[in-house]
Structure 1
Amino acid sequence: MELAVGSTNPVKIDAVERTLERYEPTVTAVDVDSGVAEQPWSIEETVTGAENRARQALAVTDADYGVGLEGGVARLDGTPGLFLIMWGAVTDGNRLECGGGPTLRLPDGVAERVDDGAELGPVMDDLLGTEAIAEAEGAAGVLTDGLTNRTRALGEAVASSFGPFVTNYYDIDD
């Protein structure tokens, strides 16, 4: 199975490879523009970024599937706080499927800085005294004390968006 991932971020590539390893994928990283803000600010914008990445990655390769992953932040109706969200999209050129990963509430101090216009990755790097946390455990790893990490969290978005391509339950008309 040939997959084109619309990113060169090693964590995103690893998430795809690990999640779909049983299909023995060959994964090609493709540098594409998500078409959304560097820090997506809603579920809609985050999903759009993932969809754009998937479509563009497939369009410039001979892969069987294009995969897009996008992290963002959003406020959820009825739930206080600002949340880290992760979405994936997969396309075979005819069909486009989306699925989400975990949703984690951001600490108030982090949320305030993001609300003021900062991007989550640099805010976390500043808080932790690190560089490129988004290419390592990510905010998901830090905020769960390692119960999950960015690779596993993005992997859930991969699994959720790829599922409709590998099971026939989505083809049932009932």
Structure 2
Amino acid sequence: MNKKIVVASKNPVKINASLEGMQKILPKIDFEVEGIDVPSGVSDQPMSTEETWQGALNRATNAKAKAPDADYWVGMEGGIDKDDEGKMFAFAWMCVIDKDNDIGKGMTGVFYLPPKVQQLVEEGIELGYANDKVFNEHGSKQKGGAVGSLTFGAVGRTEYYVQALVLAMIPLINKEMYKEAL
């Protein structure tokens, strides 16, 4: 059986994470994946959990509108928030929409940003660029991301996103159990 995934990004990390996550949760299905550019409708650097979720939902919704011939549409949005002490942490929301317009939500774990990165983000620099500047990297968003830099490669951005994508699929592949909630 073949199914098509449309990912609301051309970023190879997001495309690969979507495919890998789907293959993990639905191993008997062959997937075709396509990345497309669509707007998030939120800031380039979302600064709250709510804004980040809205970006993921908007991306998945916009992907479905732009490329309606698929089985799943995936929106991923990385964001930043602060704890009660003002320390900044990063995370990402995953949104998966299926053909029935049911929505699955998954979120990565969080990790705290070092003060130098936090300062640059507070000055208006998007996390990927702040990360590149502090760690003297180039294009880290298309590679290991901030999580990869801060864990010395122990956790890469693709791996980081895969688990959250799998979690987003839970209500979509267990619809009978989640009928009232969807």
Q: Which residue of 1 aligns with 2:178?
A: 170
Say if 2:59 and 2:74, in contact at 8 Å, map to a contact too. Answer: yes
What secondary structure does 1:20 align onto? helix
Equivalent position to 2:10, from 4, 8, 11: 8
Matched, 1:32 2:34: no
Equivalent position to 1:18, from 20, 37, 43: 20
Matched, 1:137 2:133: no
| Structure 1 residue ranges without an equivalent (≥5) | none
Aligned mates of 2:159, 2:45 — CA distance in 1: 20
Could you give the per-residue CA deviations for residues 38-91 of structure 1, whole angstroms, max 9, x where no partner exists?
101000111011001111111222001110001011113x46510011110011
Runs of 4+ in structure 1 off by over 3 angstroms are none
Q: Which residue of 2 aligns with 1:41?
A: 47
Aligned mates of 1:43, 1:122 — CA distance in 2: 20
Say if 1:56 and 1:66, in contact at 8 Å, map to a contact too. Answer: no
Identical counterparts, % of pairs = 36
Aligned mates of 2:85, 2:104 — CA distance in 1: 26
Letter in 2 for 1:67: V
How many residues are matched? 172
Query: What's the TM-score once normalised by structure 1's chain length?
Result: 0.92
Equivalent position to 2:63, from 42, 48, 57: 57
Could you give the per-residue CA deviations for residues 72-122 of structure 1, whole angstroms, max 9, x where no partner exists?
11113x465100111100112522221101211001111111112111111
Moved more, 108-117 or 81-90: 108-117
Say if 2:5 and 2:31, in contact at 8 Å, map to a contact too. Answer: yes
Using the TM superposition, give the Cα deviation of residue 131 of structure 1 relative to its aligned residue in structure 2, in angstroms.
1.1
* RMSD across aligned positions (CA): 1.6
Matched, 1:156 2:163: yes
| Structure 2 residue ranges without an equivalent (≥5) | none
Moved more, 65-74 or 20-29: 20-29
Could you give the per-residue CA deviations for residues 25-49 of structure 1, whole angstroms, max 9, x where no partner exists?
1111111001111101000111011
Aligned mates of 1:156, 1:101 — CA distance in 2: 7
What secondary structure does 2:57 align onto? helix
Could you give the per-residue CA deviations for residues 115-144 of structure 1, whole angstroms, max 9, x where no partner exists?
121111111111122211000011011112
Q: Which residue of 2 aligns with 1:88?
A: 94
Aligned mates of 2:15, 2:132 — CA distance in 1: 21
Aligned mates of 2:119, 2:128 — CA distance in 1: 14
Q: Which residue of 2 aligns with 1:102?
A: 109
